[in-house]
Structure 1
Amino acid sequence: MKVFVTGASGYIGGVVVEHLLAAGHEVAALARSEGAAARVGALGARAVRGGLADLGVLREAAAGSDAVVHAAVDYLEPAMREVEEPALEAMLGALDGGRGFVYASTALVYPDTAGGPPTEDAELDEASPQLFKLLGERQVLAASGVTATVLRGGLVYGRGGSALVTGMIGASRALGAAPYVGEGANLWSTIHVDDLARLYVAVLEKQVGGVYNASSHTRLRMRELAERIALVTGADPRPLSREAAAGAFGPLVAVLERGITLDPTRAEETFGWQARERGLLDDLSSGSYRDVLSGPPPEGGSAA
């Protein structure tokens, strides 16, 4: 299968490319810089030079593929929807014959899940902190002529990555406290990046559309995660003050206080897939985050 991937030089997209290539598929990957092209080339993918604003490039690459994975995102771009909407239109419009399109979404499209993990058919949060993801989902699912699949990921971790986990590590080291606010009783579902990548491959190979929650069955309280980070960084296990948390995480503070839980049963039953990698707490204590933990703390106490 020929697969076109956006976001392949990033965290999730890069691991998805690795698993696609290992499964015997051919991958073309969007690369907006020389550095990005070098990274995707080192993975074994063919670099397609351009960015999300290069609609002709997107259209041509999608048209020449059997399926598309859209994992590109810039969470710091306030106009992300304005960037993504025409990019999605270009790629979706170039596909026909039921070819696959997989959209990387997030559990943050749901409201706070303190009442329990939502099903994929649950009401969504029109005030989501990542509203562009909710709007992107709707655009993809409404497209005609494609097999559209949306994967709503939980807290992704592993391979020493994840902006949120590494940000929490940085905040703990810089501020000397556990990176949470208040009681930290809110639960989060987690998913190792390799488990998530395997799900992407299963979706593409089975060509079944729809919406699927992507997580393991492991749920951690924010306090558990933050205290483990404090333990391995040598910080005080006390929580951050709201002022310190706001300085370290900015608008992400509101995310840290939400319940973000998922039930992956639909994905498991549809694709014969299950999460099997080591858990996040174990990975922090003795796994892939060693280099992050041993590196220099961020300047100025920022978790960015």
Structure 2
Amino acid sequence: MRIFITGASGYVGGVVTEHLLRAGHEVVALARSDRARERVEALGAKAAPGGLRDLDVLRAGAAGADAVVHTAVDYFDAGMGDIEHDALRSMLDALTEGAAFLYTSTGLVYPDTRGATVDEEHPVDPRSPQPFKILGERQVLDAGHVAGTVIRAGLVYGRAGSGLLEGLLTTARQQGTVAYIGDGTNEWSSVHVDDLAALYAAVLAHRSPGTVVNAAGPERTPMRRIVEAVATTAGARAVSVTPEQAAEMMGPAAAVLTRSSPLDSAKARRLFGWNPTSPSLLDELTSGSYAQATALRQGDPIGDSSPGDGRG
């Protein structure tokens, strides 16, 4: 297939692009800068210069594609909701009847269930930390002429990437301590970036129009154990802070870090034969790519064989 992808120079999108190319697809990738163009071309994709605000570029990319994969996002841009709405409309309108559209969402669209597992039938939360993702999901699923699929991912990790984990590691290295909130027993679901990318490829191979699927491995990991693993890797100390201290230190992110809505991914396994097989989050942190990247940063020879992190 000819696939148009957004976000291919980024963490998730770059690994998805690798998997799509490996499956024999022709991939055209949106690239908003010279650096992004170099990144996607190094992967083996053809670059389409432009960003999510370049609607003519998006229309042209989608018009020539059998499928669109949308992974681009900027959570720090306050206008991202409006930007994405217009971008999605441009791509969806340009796609021909029956073409596929894969939309990248997040488990954060669910409410905090205090540890109760959620499947795709669970109602989303309009007060989600990322409300525009709920709107984007609906926009794709309501486009009746395309085979739209929404993938709600858990905490993505692996290849020494992930904004949250990188942020925790940076804090640990710089401050010598890294914090969890309260007793840190709130559990998170997670998915290795290569397993997630394999799901995208599987969805394109076995289309199921109008489908929402959760994407997470089988482990449920308490936040305290994640932070302790980060501390071990960074040579720092894990400490507990109160919710009030966390709010002062982290702002709105503190509320996100106390959530617990583990994901049931049985539907992805059933529909698409998806089978996550990569190392666990804790293994990756303590002895895998994150440990190797930390060793490389510190000049330890173990880092010489560290794989690339897949970020743009």
**Fold match, TM over 0.5?**
yes
Structure-1 residue corresponding to 2:40: 40
Counterpart of 1:143 in 2: which secondary structure? coil
Please list the CA deviations of residues 3-59 of structure 1 after superposition, one character each: whole Å capped at 9, or x if unmatched.
000000000000000000011110000001011000000000000001111111101
Q: Which amino acid in structure 1 is aligned with residue 265 of structure 2?
A: P
Structure-1 residue corresponding to 2:175: 175
| Residue range with higher mean Cα deviation, 263-272 or 286-295 | 286-295
1:171–1:179 CA contact under 8 A, matched in 2: no
**How many corresponding residue pairs?**
296
Counterpart of 2:72 in 1: which secondary structure? coil
Q: Which amino acid in structure 1 is aligned with residue 289 of structure 2?
A: S
2:118–2:261 CA contact under 8 A, matched in 1: no
Counterparts of 1:180 and 1:292, CA distance in 2? 23
Counterpart of 2:181 in 1: which secondary structure? coil
Counterpart of 2:120 in 1: which secondary structure? coil
Counterparts of 2:104 and 2:55, CA distance in 1? 19
- Post-superposition offset of 1:248: 5.6
List aligned pairs for 1:86-165, cutoff 5 A: 86-165=86-165
List aligned pairs for 1:234-245, cutoff 5 A: 234-240=235-241, 245=246
Structure-2 residue corresponding to 1:73: 73
Counterparts of 2:163 and 2:293, CA distance in 1? 11
Counterparts of 2:168 and 2:74, CA distance in 1? 19
Counterpart of 1:86 in 2: which secondary structure? helix
1:109–1:124 CA contact under 8 A, matched in 2: yes
* TM-score, structure 1 normalization: 0.93
Structure-2 residue corresponding to 1:302: none
Please state if 1:266 is matched with 2:239. no
1:177–1:240 CA contact under 8 A, matched in 2: no
* TM-score, structure 2 normalization: 0.91
2:115–2:262 CA contact under 8 A, matched in 1: no
Structure-2 residue corresponding to 1:16: 16
2:233–2:291 CA contact under 8 A, matched in 1: no
Q: Which amino acid in structure 2 is aligned with residue 95 of structure 1?
A: L
Counterparts of 2:191 and 2:276, CA distance in 1? 7
Counterparts of 2:51 and 2:239, CA distance in 1? 43
- Post-superposition offset of 1:186: 0.5
- Post-superposition offset of 1:249: 3.8
List aligned pairs for 1:275-294, cutoff 5 A: 275-290=276-291, 292-294=293-295
- Post-superposition offset of 1:246: 4.5
| Stretches of 4+ aligned residues off by more than 6 angstroms | none
Counterparts of 2:261 and 2:17, CA distance in 1? 27
Please state if 1:222 is matched with 2:223. yes
What is the identity percentage for the equivalent residue pairs of Structure 1 and Structure 2? Answer: 52
Q: Which amino acid in structure 2 is aligned with residue 140 of structure 1?
A: V
1:187–1:260 CA contact under 8 A, matched in 2: yes
Counterpart of 1:198 in 2: which secondary structure? helix
Shift of the 217–90 alpha-carbon distance from structure 1 to 2, 3 Å rule, reads same
- Post-superposition offset of 1:244: 6.3
Runs of 5+ unmatched residues, structure 2:
299-312
Counterparts of 2:124 and 2:118, CA distance in 1? 10
2:115–2:186 CA contact under 8 A, matched in 1: no
Counterparts of 2:291 and 2:183, CA distance in 1? 27
Counterparts of 2:125 and 2:42, CA distance in 1? 39
- Post-superposition offset of 1:182: 0.9
Shift of the 121–242 alpha-carbon distance from structure 1 to 2, 3 Å rule, reads closer
2:187–2:261 CA contact under 8 A, matched in 1: yes
Q: Which amino acid in structure 1 is aligned with residue 285 of structure 2?
A: L
1:178–1:240 CA contact under 8 A, matched in 2: no
Counterparts of 1:291 and 1:75, CA distance in 2? 28
1:154–1:214 CA contact under 8 A, matched in 2: yes
- Post-superposition offset of 1:118: 1.1
2:52–2:83 CA contact under 8 A, matched in 1: yes
Shift of the 83–106 alpha-carbon distance from structure 1 to 2, 3 Å rule, reads same
Counterparts of 1:222 and 1:115, CA distance in 2? 12
Structure-1 residue corresponding to 2:307: none
Runs of 5+ unmatched residues, structure 1:
297-304
Structure-1 residue corresponding to 2:252: 251
Counterpart of 2:4 in 1: which secondary structure? strand
Please list the CA deviations of residues 147-192 of structure 1 after superposition, one character each: whole Å capped at 9, or x if unmatched.
0000000010000000011111112222322331111110100100
